[in-house]
Chains A and B, each alone.
Chain A
């Protein structure tokens, strides 16, 4: 018990004195997951709109594939991206393996089905009558689609949060394609909050692992609080 208390106190002191190693790890995590989200959210929104509001053959099969993709383990995504980017792989010539770019790619692959799936559920849940009401008030086809998407906006926000939560908290794929690299000066290159927690725990530096864990939870929590506020205001 006392070791847990001392781990917590050391963790908070690391956070309080803005430990440079801690800051660089947080920076890599936020940059990689933020970039992955920036790329995957628009793609997911388009996919979800097509799958949710379009009518074409094969739509149900694609929906099933998306829902299946939501649960794919991150190590498997990492493995596939690793094979694609490794020197003998089809994209090996780009030299992207062990770089933050590789991590962004694998997180994109990981979270796009999740974000698409949650957005899709939100779109499907919008009452059919909304679309008819829009039509009856003079909406063009595009305006109707936009109206339904606007009605699903809180679900879209949930999708983005779920995607960010999954991206920033996954270990498997960033470890495989990023390589968990730290520069000699102790500044992270491809080490994220999660992979750092694995390393520090293995080294027995529980206070550092705990400090990283607290920061990770604080980031996810504050984003969720912000989203909750936006939803409660409801005027957007």
Chain B
């Protein structure tokens, strides 16, 4: 399996703060679901922020090897990724606008105008077929089970629905690497199961998934491999089943709790 993302000696410190990442090494393979587990404050979110280039690392390097065409620029690379946060951050607009957001960012002006004009024409009851962009928005909404929600305002959604819209927005851009930072924290079981199923399907369609999670059950259900991050360092990593069956160090045992190890 080819490597899609390789991270070497990654370090990061917040201004006037302690070092949050203290030499992280990782190799993510194309097409896998890789989970990063670890206690609160271990550096999971910081790691994701560095990987999405929101923060610049103070040392070390990240190499992206995406399959699809990219000009190699920072923006080109970033546009092959999408991230979903623990707390859904939606724009103050309709569900449709939110899901279309990432697609609009990538669409040149004439294309954007065509979509807007098409929208307007359909409001005037003219038979204009939906554009590719609109079809993708519709598909993404179907994917997360929110087909009829396009016209709703993002503020009128429950937390679970909002998180599903955030996931649809990330899926709509068909990212090669999908970063999910505790995507189901604070959600009820039906929403958790639904989101897990969506992640599985996206992965089957070819997206590599990087998942930060507290939920060991979820990691076992979804991930192929996992790494335990403690105080900014990877202390253990490997295939999920091995990792939980025969942890090499006491760290996993400590983090997971004895009873969950089988």
Residues of A within 8 A of B (CB): 127, 129-130, 132-140, 143, 147, 150-151, 154, 234-235
Contact = CB atoms under 8 A, between A and B. Distances in A.
B89 A138 contact: no
A127 B169 contact: no
B79 A130 contact: no
A138 B91 contact: no
A130 B173 contact: no
Interface centre among B53, B92, B102, B169 (most CB of A within 10 A): B92
A138 B94 contact: no
Contacts of A151: 91-92
Contacts of A134: 101, 105
A137 B173 contact: yes
Interface of B: 49, 52-54, 75, 78-79, 81-83, 85, 87, 89, 91-94, 101-102, 105-106, 153, 169-170, 173, 179
Contacts of A127: 89
Contacts of A129: 85, 87, 89
B112 to A, nearest CB: 12
Given A136-B52, A138-B79, A138-B173, A235 B89 contact: no
Given A127-B89, A132-B54, A132-B89, A138 B153 contact: no
Main SS of chain A's interface residues? helix
B173 A136 contact: no
A216 B153 CA distance: 36
A230 to B, nearest CB: 13
A235 B93 contact: yes
A23 B59 CA distance: 70
A138 B82 contact: yes
B116 to A, nearest CB: 12
B78 A135 contact: yes
A84 B139 CA distance: 63
11 contacts: A127-B89, A132-B89, A133-B83, A135-B53, A137-B82, A137-B105, A138-B106, A139-B105, A154-B92, A234-B92, A235-B93
Contact of B75 (A130, A138, A154): A138
Nearest to B78: A138
Nearest to B169: A137
A36 to B, nearest CB: 29
